[in-house]
Amino acid sequence: MNNFITNIIDNDINNGLSINNIKFRFPPEPNGFLHLGHIKSLYINFTLAKFYNSKIYLRFEDTNPNNINIKYINQIIKNIKWLGFKYTKITYISNYFNLLYKWAKLLIIKQKAYIQKIYNNKIYNINNIEKSLFIFKNMKIGKYKENTYILRAKINNKSTNYYLNDPIMYRIIYKKHLFTKNKWCIYPTYDWAHGQSDYIEKISHSLCSIEFQNHKPLYDWFINQIYNKKFNYIKPKQIEFSRLNLSNTITSKRQINILKNKKIINNLCDPRLCTITAFKKKGYSSKYIINFIKSIGYSKRNNNINIKLLELYIKKKIINKTPKLLVIFNPIKLTIINFPKKSIEWIYIKNHCNYPKYKIIPFTKTIYIEKNDFKYKYDKNFLRLSFNNYVRLKYSYIIKIFKIVKKNNNIKKIYCKIYKNNTIKYNKIKSTIQWVSSKYNTKINILLYNYIYFKNNKIINKNSLKSIFVYGDISINNINLYNIYQFHRIGFFYFFKINNNIFYFKKLFFLNP
Ligand code: ATP
Ligand code: MG
C-alpha cells in the first residue's frame, strides 16, 4: 500500500515514531446512521490499521447531549459489524469529560481561555483568572441559564481563519446526557473535545474528511496547550482526505436528518438514501460496497461520484446471479386465435442462474404483454409486436398479429397467432418480449423509487416514490424473500415482503440507467 497518507506515516516512522505507537480511530457523532461517506472513512482507517498492524478505536463523539441517541450508537456498531471491520475497542468522549474540564481550567490559569458573559445582547469578556475559574465552576454545576456564559479559547480574534477567532470551548446545556446523566451542565464543543480525545487515546494519526482542514491550526493549537510529555509524548497528527459526495442523494448525517424532519423520508433506511441500512435493505452486499469504495481510491480532492457509477458497479456484480422473472408493468391483452379456450399449457423453464432450479409457468389463450412492446402502425424500425412482425414470447411461442378490432378508433381486441419453434425462420424473428398469462399471474406491488435529489443535490425531488401494482409470472409464488430479482428487460428489484398474496418489491435500478 502506498498513498499520500502512508507517505506521511512512513515519514513519521523515519523521523522516530515507533511503529508500535501508530494508532487510528473512527470518530462518528451518534446523531444518525452511517452512510457511504463513512464507509470510505472506515475503509481508509481500517485498511491503514491492518497495514501497520495497529490498534484502531471506534470512538463515539457524544459531546452534544441534544444530538445523540442510543439507537444511533447501536446502529453504528451493527453497521460496522455488518461491513466486517474489526476495531480494538469502543470509546466515548464523555468518559473524558473530567479531564477535558481539568485542562480547560488549566487554560484559564494560563490565560489561554476566558469566560464571556452574554447579557442583554451584549458581551463582556472576563479577564480575571480567579473570577473566570469561579464562574466556570458555577457554569458546570448549573448556577446559570443557558446562553449566559461561555468559555472561549484566547487565540486571535483577528485571524482570517475563523476557527482561530477565540473559539468556544464550553457552553451551558441543560439536557440529560445519555451516559453522564445530569452530572454536567456544560459540554465541550467538537473542536475542544475531538483533538484532545485523540491525545488522550494516544492516536497517532487522526484521519478526517477535508472539511476539517480549516480546523487544523486550532487542532494543533489546542494540543500544544495541553501537551505534556509525561501524559503522552505523541502529538496526534490530523490528516485530511477527500469527502465522498454521491450525486442524487446525500452523504451527511445532519442533512439526512433534515430530510427526515421534513417528512420527505420516513426513516433512515429509506432506499433513496445511501445509508448502510438502506443498502442492506436493498440487498446490496457489504463486500460489493466496500469494493466499490476501494475502486474509487484515496485522494485529497473532493470525490463527487455519480450515483450511476455505484449502481453500475453493483449491477455488474449481481447480473449473473439474479433469477429472472417475467413481469408486465403496463399490460395490453392479446388473444391467441389458435390456442384452445380454457386450456393451459405448462411451460418448464430452466431458470437463469439455476435458482430456483426450474420453474413452470402457464400459457393461456389470453396473455398480457407490455404496452410499449406493441405498435398499431407498421414501422420498419419497430422490432416488437406490430403487423407483419414475428416476435418471440420469452420461453414460449413465436407470435404474430392476426387481426385488430377497433371501435371508435380505439383498439378493442388484438388477435394473434402463435407458431411453434422451428416453424419460422430464425432471422425473421425480430425480438423477444416478456408476457404473462392474463388469467394466472401474481399480483406484485412495487415501490418505485426515484432519486431523492435532482442531480445537483440542491433540489429535492418530492415525487420520488410511487407505489404501483403490476403483473408477474406465477413462479413468483416460490421465490425467496430478501433477494434481488431481475425483471426481464426491465430491471432489478428487491423482494422484501409478502402480504395477502401480494408480493412486494422495491426498485433497485432499471436495466439501462
Ligand atoms: P454530520 O453531517 O453530522 O457532520 P457526518 O455525516 O459528517 O455527520 P461524522 O460523524 O461527522 O459524520 O463523521 C464521522 C467520520 O466520518 C469523520 O471522520 C468524518 O470525517 C467521516 N466522514 C463523514 N462523512 C464523510 C464523507 N462524506 N466522506 C468521507 N468521510 C466522511
Ligand atoms: Mg461531519
Q: Examine the domain organization and report whether 379 and 471 are in the same domain.
A: no
Q: Considering 23, 25, 29, 201, which one is annotated as catalytic?
A: 29
Amino acid at 53: N
Indicate which CATH number applies to the domain containing 482.
2.40.240.10
Burial profile 453-477: b = 16 or more Cβ within 10 angstroms, e = fewer: beeebeeeeeebbeeeebbbbbbbe
Cα–Cα distance measured from residue 513 to residue 498, given in angstroms and rounded to the nearest whole number? 27
Q: Measure 334 CA to ligand 1 centroid, in angstroms.
A: 55
Q: How many alpha carbons fall within 13 Å on the CB side of residue 311? A: 21
Point out the domain boundary residue: 437, 454, 488.
Answer: 437
Query: Is the CB–ligand 1 distance for residue 38 below 6 Å?
Result: yes
Is there a contact between 219 and 195 (Cβ–Cβ < 8 Å)? yes
Query: Is the CB–ligand 1 distance for residue 30 below 6 Å?
Result: no
Query: Is the CB–ligand 1 distance for residue 243 below 6 Å?
Result: yes
Ligand nearest to the CA of 243: 1
For cell 474540564, name the residue. 101
Active site residue 253: yes
Q: Which helix (DSSP H) or strand (DSSP E) does residue 346 occupy?
A: strand 345-350
Sign of CA dihedral 140, 141, 144, 147: positive
Q: Examine the domain organization and report whether 110 and 17 are in the same domain.
A: yes
Active site residue 254: no
Q: Examine the domain organization and report whether 68 and 180 are in the same domain.
A: yes
pTM of the model: 0.93
Domain that holds residue 366: 330-437
Q: Examine the domain organization and report whether 222 and 368 are in the same domain.
A: no
Is there a contact between 449 and 424 (Cβ–Cβ < 8 Å)? no
Point out the domain boundary residue: 401, 419, 437.
Answer: 437
Q: Examine the domain organization and report whether 427 and 452 are in the same domain.
A: no
Contacts 24+ apart (CB under 8 A), 131-140: 132/108, 133/105, 133/108, 133/109, 136/104, 136/105, 136/108, 136/170, 139/115, 139/170, 139/172, 139/185, 139/186, 140/101, 140/184, 140/185, 140/186
Residue 437 grid cell: 398469462
Give domain status of residue 367, yes or no: yes
What is the full per-residue pLDDT of the chain (513 aa) written as tens digits?
A: 899 999 999 999 999 999 999 999 999 999 999 999 999 999 999 999 999 999 999 999 999 999 999 999 999 999 999 999 999 999 999 999 999 999 999 999 999 999 999 999 999 999 999 999 999 999 999 999 999 999 999 999 999 999 999 999 999 999 999 999 999 999 999 999 999 999 999 999 999 999 999 999 999 999 999 999 999 999 999 999 999 999 999 999 999 999 999 999 999 999 999 999 999 999 999 999 999 999 987 777 778 899 999 999 999 999 888 989 999 999 999 999 999 999 999 999 876 665 567 889 999 999 999 999 999 988 989 999 999 999 999 999 999 999 999 999 999 999 999 999 889 999 999 999 999 999 999 999 999 999 999 877 789 998 899 999 999 999 999 899 999 999 999 999 999 999 999 999 999 999 875
Active site residue 29: yes
